[in-house]
Structure 1
């Protein structure tokens, strides 16, 4: 993994591109502590920071140019099928290195932009054609690796991180008001927007070509939710899933440095560690975080798994004072405001301190194997369809509002809101399922707010128009295009790369994802959440792991925010309340209700405001 930067100046520009790209490289130096490079010619300057994983010799230095000098590439990521691609291209191109970077370059020379369709891996890269004076910029199929861009009157700018773009100081950063609403709704901003005006993130499965001031965007991959094969049995599906998982693991364990793994003791991380142990002849290094608060601690299960597979396991116990000490640096590492990610920051830090450069993660397992509560909720709503047709939707709105008043559970409030949309109650529920603030609550907190635009309407429309008999795959499609891409993957990248650690995600192998997305609901649904994954790996999964209640990798934030982190949070809440777009009294009242144990105020609703205020401060965003 690495960091990439670039500035393509427009005709008449007098920008000192090389100096600006040096600043960009410095801003993202943490992504590539092993090497640095800059390429400049009349119209463009490309920058690179290198974390050496494949071909750690100087031959892998970037920016890398083709033998004839026409094409120059900067690349971040890993291409898992590069060895086979290299064989296919060997008669066409004279390779000089062992790196996967040169394989992409050779593929681009042969296939042009269609090279992306031949790549299996995680990537973001740019290629400059000095003859055509054209820049090609792309991102991988599922969005594991990010790339951001901005356009001014003088140039097109891109970087692996927003920090890189802001380092140029070519424009004053301002909050995008549409994105602000998005953040309050979902604790994230959905691609292609970011929290800032004029800074965009390239969407997964997309590339852009920049020719002069003309920017042309093309989508080369779209996650499909196709009609399922209803005849397939769970046994045959489980067998194929196991085969695809093993192939993915074998590919993603390839590196010229030591590979470790995150181990929480949940199903996904246990599967990853179990398969690694079967494939590797070496003892696996595993890492976990434990807590003194027993309700959040999973060390019993991570230790059990570590013993079963004889891993070299390191459990890092986290105390409140440890978090308080690390928090300023962790929040500074956030390249984009997110209510999540601190957990990844801390475990990545400890992993890298042990000399590990690559760690495998179970990220993606919940999305493709239906592990979240939203899957069972949507499935039940679909199963009860005939019941919900008995009475007008207003009846169910009232029913669930009553349940909310009795229990204070936001689940019932969201169900009540869902039925206000009539027959579209299932996709309305999906839109609401991950909302932390409902629209009327946002109106109470922000001034001059426009709620008409919802960034998820496109994904929601695809859900509504999809094959409703395959409701679980449709829900996977929704989750993967929203929460996974714009929260989990973004956080995993920025919070691991700040330590120079590459995180790989074997569950997001394209062949595996495509296969599971095409399976019918009856194959996936069963006694357990993630039933199909359990069935395919039961020989390595301890029963204690899959027979217990699901726990997310969550810190005891509520307790900490009311105790050790109380002053830290309160100061930022009060500061945020003074911003021009905020209703001061409403924000302060929200904090007071949280402290007073109002059950309707979840800790995450407060924490996202704290994180946003801290991010705006650190990046000098005043409006």
Structure 2
């Protein structure tokens, strides 16, 4: 993973590059006076970047659960370099962009068993590569799910005995569990890891939420952002590098919406959007004021992604778009921002580009069998407890930001009814009030809170732009 800039004194050119998977961020601002770059938007805002709202990004922000695909960001004056891309900028400000890696999503000649064996080899190699490229102790962020558990298992399989693991949990709300300790504890016991477990009450979340948002390079609505922030605070007191499981679901078909997309009818974008996009475009038009009614940019972007060559079938296009474009600006950026806020480096073996290339060559039917992630489950048999392998897919839980009630509802209502929000003029306040009045009637296709999405964007702007 990398993001770097090199000045060529002989040619008076700046060369800028970002790693294949976009694990490390690189933002820039180009004006008539200068090309400025940084690892977050806040630094560019501090040197005078235009902070007006980008209407293209706004529509995507509220449609792709906080994802704004590169090169846009929510701010007109800040862009980000696409993954697997280089920029060459000359002294006159001319920019030449080149993409140096674009994986195909086509079948190889390997059998199913060979695909699984190759997955095992590449994942083990990816884990060990990230363990060995450090001169400090490394731990694992252990959620209790298959992905992080498998990282622990592979480390043990490779001969690592002194494995450190870290887990966090929150309060339950109704039937929504706030932790996955039931499963992480099994991994700790099986591999005798040196484990730290942190429990956070809902009363502790709101006072710390502003800190997490201040460390977001862009507004991120994932409920687990604050969880990673609070977990990283504690972990950073003990070690400086961790392994995390981001990318496994996208590479190996772990999400519940993939089978729904596959069985859906309609155009490719319609099949995708029905089970992924947060709000219909018609609702978006009701949500924001007219100056931001500039077109369905999410649909246009998806059409462009799905039209790229070298994908055998619809689900191959979905997986390639997810692992090369969407994951970058959702879980990967979230974990990078929240860990680096505490000087903790998160490494993501499932995002190893050779493993991703291999995963994209596996047929969707093989990846999606056993309710998803079949290759990873086969690797795990005999290594992990069956109860962890066969459990229902979980999500790093933060129930209070999903089922918005009580003080969390009051908090979000205050943000959206604030003078700053009204004066910003982005939202249609009449529609926003409907969402505030019935938040659980406005859930996304992925079971997220649309109220939280609206509040988080405004809160991010208040903290990072207004203050």
TM-score of the two chains, using structure 2 as the length reference:
0.91
> C-alpha distance in 2, partners of 1:532/1:497?
31
> C-alpha distance in 2, partners of 1:433/1:560?
20
Do the aligned residues in 2 keep the contact of 1:175 with 1:621 (CA within 8 Å)? no
Partner of residue 431 from structure 1, selected from 273, 279, 298: 273
Structure 2 counterparts to residues 227-238 of structure 1, below 5 A: 228-229=107-108, 232-238=110-116
2:234 is matched with 350
Do the aligned residues in 2 keep the contact of 1:241 with 1:516 (CA within 8 Å)? yes
2:95 pairs with 1:215: yes
2:252 pairs with 1:369: yes
1:107 is matched with none
1:182 is matched with 60
Partner of residue 224 from structure 1, selected from 104, 107, 121: 104
> C-alpha distance in 2, partners of 1:603/1:519?
30
Higher relative contact order by CA 8 Å / sep ≥ 6: 1 or 2?
Answer: 2
After superposition, the Cα gap between the structure-2 partners of 1:559 and 1:509, relative to the gap in structure 1 and judged at 3 Å, is closer
Structure 2 counterparts to residues 587-606 of structure 1, below 5 A: 587-594=432-439, 597-598=440-441, 604-606=449-451
Unaligned runs of 5+ in 2: none
Deviation at 1:537, TM superposition (A): 2.7
> C-alpha distance in 1, partners of 2:234/2:54?
35
> C-alpha distance in 2, partners of 1:609/1:574?
11
Structure 2 counterparts to residues 376-415 of structure 1, below 5 A: 376-381=259-264
1:86 is matched with none
After superposition, the Cα gap between the structure-2 partners of 1:289 and 1:217, relative to the gap in structure 1 and judged at 3 Å, is same
Partner of residue 458 from structure 2, selected from 596, 601, 613: 613
* Count of equivalent residues: 454
Deviation at 1:472, TM superposition (A): 3.5
1:443 is matched with 285
- 1:350-409: per-residue Cα shift (whole Å, max 9, x none)? 2112x211110110100111001122112323xxxxxx6xxxxxxxxxxxxxxxxxxxxx
1:564 is matched with 407
Partner of residue 196 from structure 1, selected from 66, 75, 80: 75
2:31 pairs with 1:152: yes
Do the aligned residues in 1 keep the contact of 2:442 with 2:450 (CA within 8 Å)? no
After superposition, the Cα gap between the structure-2 partners of 1:172 and 1:236, relative to the gap in structure 1 and judged at 3 Å, is closer
Do the aligned residues in 1 keep the contact of 2:170 with 2:397 (CA within 8 Å)? no
Do the aligned residues in 2 keep the contact of 1:146 with 1:201 (CA within 8 Å)? yes
- 1:490-510: per-residue Cα shift (whole Å, max 9, x none)? 212111111101110101111
SS at match of 1:193: coil
RMSD of aligned alpha carbons: 2.1
SS at match of 1:551: coil
2:436 pairs with 1:553: no
Do the aligned residues in 1 keep the contact of 2:183 with 2:388 (CA within 8 Å)? yes
After superposition, the Cα gap between the structure-2 partners of 1:271 and 1:603, relative to the gap in structure 1 and judged at 3 Å, is closer
Unaligned runs of 5+ in 1: 1-121, 382-387, 389-418
> C-alpha distance in 2, partners of 1:556/1:262?
20
TM-score of the two chains, using structure 1 as the length reference:
0.69
Larger Rg: 1
Deviation at 1:446, TM superposition (A): 1.2
2:340 is matched with 497
> C-alpha distance in 1, partners of 2:351/2:71?
21
> C-alpha distance in 2, partners of 1:462/1:266?
30
Deviation at 1:598, TM superposition (A): 3.1
> C-alpha distance in 2, partners of 1:327/1:581?
23
Structure 2 counterparts to residues 2-41 of structure 1, below 5 A: none
- 1:527-547: per-residue Cα shift (whole Å, max 9, x none)? 232111111232312100121
Deviation at 1:284, TM superposition (A): 1.0
